[in-house]
Every structure is written in structure tokens, then in C-alpha cells.
Amino acid sequence: MPGMRSSMVMMAVSAFPFAVGLLVPAKADQPPSSNARKVIGSSCISCHGKTNPAGNIDLSSDTGIQRAVSSGRLERVLNAGSMPPSRRLTKTEDASLRALLPAKSAAPALWSLRPVSNPPVPKVSGIKHPIDAFIAKSLKAKGITANPPATKIAWLRRITVDLTGIPPTVGETAAYLADSTATSRQNVIDRLLASPAYGERMARLWLDVARFGESHGYEQNHIRPNAWPYRDYVIRSFNADKPYSEFIQEQLAGDILGKGNPDILPATGFLVAGIHDTVPSQVEEATRQQRANDLEDIVATVGASVMGFTIGCARCHDHKFDPISQRDFYALEALFSGVNHGETDLPRPGKSLPKPSRDWLAQTVNVHNQVQQLRFTGRVKSQGGSGPPGTQ
């Protein structure tokens, strides 16, 4: 489905207009402008008149309009794009009605809706790095003084555990203590960033965000023996210092961006890393429910991971405070409606392996049988529920 695929690539770019409505500064309380009255007269009043108004929203008087504004209900339908029910308002109509909303501070409260800013560095003396200036300023405001600098050995231990998750070796410690050059710390940091353990350490954080697990979760919780290429993709990405935008695009659309490329193709494991109900049902409604749950898992994870936004609640209703409507939710969901759980062969780099010969198969048949046997007993034990494989 080429249509769906190109929209998947677009999505990372086009997901942000949700927030735009909140960022538009609105005028303070005023009587409705003639433009707003015109829109209400032509598009709303047929259902929201004086007698028996729909949803108990009477838009026939200034007081009624003010009530719809102050209760937040007008803003809600504008954000949801749900009124009038038959069509979407044009941009101009929408703007005329939004002008009725009370003024908001330019920056919405929720951090994830604020534009990225580059705040000026506080002027603090005796600071080596601009980030320290922010810390020093906050400490000063609270009347706290900083601790003395860490000892050499404490610093080495901390930086090594931070970047690789494991303590420094005796040899690394001795080398650092003996290094009295001005770049001794820089040398350590460069060595740690170049270590494969750096990617392994950092990948854990993203794999948590991506709700990665090597089993389906849910009732049966079957093992996913082939989930690891995604894990390795994340590790490789950190070790290669890949730009964030590329990292995200590959995970949303790696099947197109990485066609034929075994380094990138596994990135889409991100979309299907979540729990997956594998219990088949005879009832069509239940099967559809399972599918809806899978898609919700994908959409909610994309929201939480790359937008810093929990959007799963909009599966059932507009969010009460954030600008996420049910319509937005299903628009996003539609982008992923072609995604399914499944396995695919990774293209092998270089020559493909030769087909095993009959001779080889005959000579190794016992080994294959043993492997099968081990796989089978391992599976039976791990499903027994009384301990990990091999403990019984």
C-alpha cells in the first residue's frame, strides 16, 4: 500500500499541528465580532437556537455564547473539529470563533506543547560549562552551595557507570590516575563513547520507551525468538551517533527507508514491540477488538515516545485538557492501519549461504534431532510457569 507508506514518513513531520491551535494568541473577553455572529448564524443556530438547543448550548444570545466560552465547551468542539456535525469549519470560520476564546498565556503549561527554546545562559562566575551556570543559579536561589569536586577515582567510577553501566577495570583506573595531561578526562570520555558498551547502556533507555520485550505479553506470552534484531538496531544507532530524526524516521518507516538494508529494516520492530494478544477467537467482535488494541498500542507508543504525550485516552473520547481529539487519534491510527505483527527474512549482506547438501544433512541428522529436542523441552518447561527454562 504505497499511499499508506508515504504518509507514514510524513507523519513525523506533520504530527505537530495539534498544538498550533493553543499557540494562537486569542483576544480577551469581548462581545462576539460580527464575523463570529455570521458563522454562528449560518452554521450553528439551526441546532443551537433559543428553544430546545442541542446539547443545551444556546448560541442565540451574547450571554449564551459567553456561557459556551467560559465552560470551555466551545473550545472543546473547535479543537475536536466536531461542530457543525456535517462538515469541518473553514480556517477563516474557525479563526472567527476562536477569537471568542479567552486569552491564553502564549506558552501552554504542558512542557511537551511548548516550542523548544534556547534560554540565555545565566551570568555566574567561575563556571566551566554553560549547563553548570543553570545549576549554580538554581542552587544559589535555594541558598545551597555545591559539593567540592569529586575525587579522581570517584569521577572515573561515576562516568564509567553512567556511560557503560559497568565499573572501570583496574587497568583503566591505573591508566587514568597516571594520566596527568590536561585532556585526561576527555580521553576517558572518548574511550567510553567509543566502547560498544555505550550503545548497550543507552539502548536500554529507549527500549523501555519502546516497551520492548522478547515475548508477546498477554495471556500466552509466547517467546519472540526473533525480536533481537530490533534491539541490536537500537544499540547500533547509539554507537553510530545517529541523528535523532533519522532514528525516529527509520522506526516509523524502516520498511520503506531501509528496503533491502539489513541494518535499517529491523527498525520497524519499534511499532510492534508491544504486547500482542495471540489467543484466537471465534467471535468476530473479539477479533476486531484485538486488532483495535494492537493499533492503539502503536499509536499510544508513538505519542508517548516521540511527542511526549499520552494520547491513548483519545481512543474513547477527546482529551479534556490537551489538544488531542478522538478525530486526531483515529487520523493517526489510520496511518498505521497497514501494520501487522509478523516476521520477515532479513536480507543477508554479501553472498547468500549455500543450500545444505544431502550429504551434510544426512551426516548431521542426529544433531538436528537433538536441537529440536532441546527446543521442545525448553518450550514446555518455560510454559510450565514454575520457573525459567532449565530450573526443573
Which residues sit at the interface with ligand HEC, rule CB under 6 A? Answer: 43-44, 46-48, 54-55, 57, 68, 73-74, 76-77, 83-85, 97, 312-313, 315-317, 320
Residue closer to ligand HEC (CB basis): 101 or 267: 101
Cα–Cα distance for residue pair 174/188, rounded to 1 Å? 12
Chain-centroid distance, C-alpha 161: 26
Q: How far is the CB of 39 from ligand HEC (least distance, A)?
A: 6
Residue closer to ligand HEC (CB basis): 46 or 287: 46
Q: How far is the CB of 244 from ligand HEC (least distance, A)?
A: 27
Q: How far is the CB of 255 from ligand HEC (least distance, A)?
A: 29
Residue closer to ligand HEC (CB basis): 316 or 362: 316
The conformation of residue 113, written as its DSSP 8-state character, comes to G
Q: How far is the CB of 25 from ligand HEC (least distance, A)?
A: 20
Q: How far is the CB of 302 from ligand HEC (least distance, A)?
A: 16
Q: How far apart are the first and last CA of the chain?
A: 48
Is the Cβ–Cβ distance between 249 and 257 less than 8 Å? yes
Residue closer to ligand HEC (CB basis): 315 or 327: 315
Q: How far is the CB of 155 from ligand HEC (least distance, A)?
A: 42
Sorted by sequence, the CB contacts under 8 Å of residue 36 that are 6+ apart come out as 65, 96, 97, 99, 100
Grid cell listed for 10: 510524513
Sorted by sequence, the CB contacts under 8 Å of residue 93 that are 6+ apart come out as 39, 43
The conformation of residue 88, written as its DSSP 8-state character, comes to P
Cell 555505550 sits on residue: 198
Residue closer to ligand HEC (CB basis): 288 or 317: 317
Residue closer to ligand HEC (CB basis): 275 or 346: 275
Residue closer to ligand HEC (CB basis): 250 or 277: 277
The 8 Å CB, 24+ separation contacts for 178-187 are: 185/155, 185/159
Q: How far is the CB of 278 from ligand HEC (least distance, A)?
A: 22
Q: Which residues pair with 223 in a beta bridge?
A: 215
Cα–Cα distance for residue pair 284/120, rounded to 1 Å? 58
The conformation of residue 337, written as its DSSP 8-state character, comes to T
Q: How far is the CB of 332 from ligand HEC (least distance, A)?
A: 15
Q: Dump the DSSP string for 170-239.
A: HHHHHHHHH--STTHHHHHHHHHHHSHHHHHHHHHHHHHHTT--SB--TTT--B-TT-HHHHHHHHHHHH
Residue closer to ligand HEC (CB basis): 245 or 289: 289
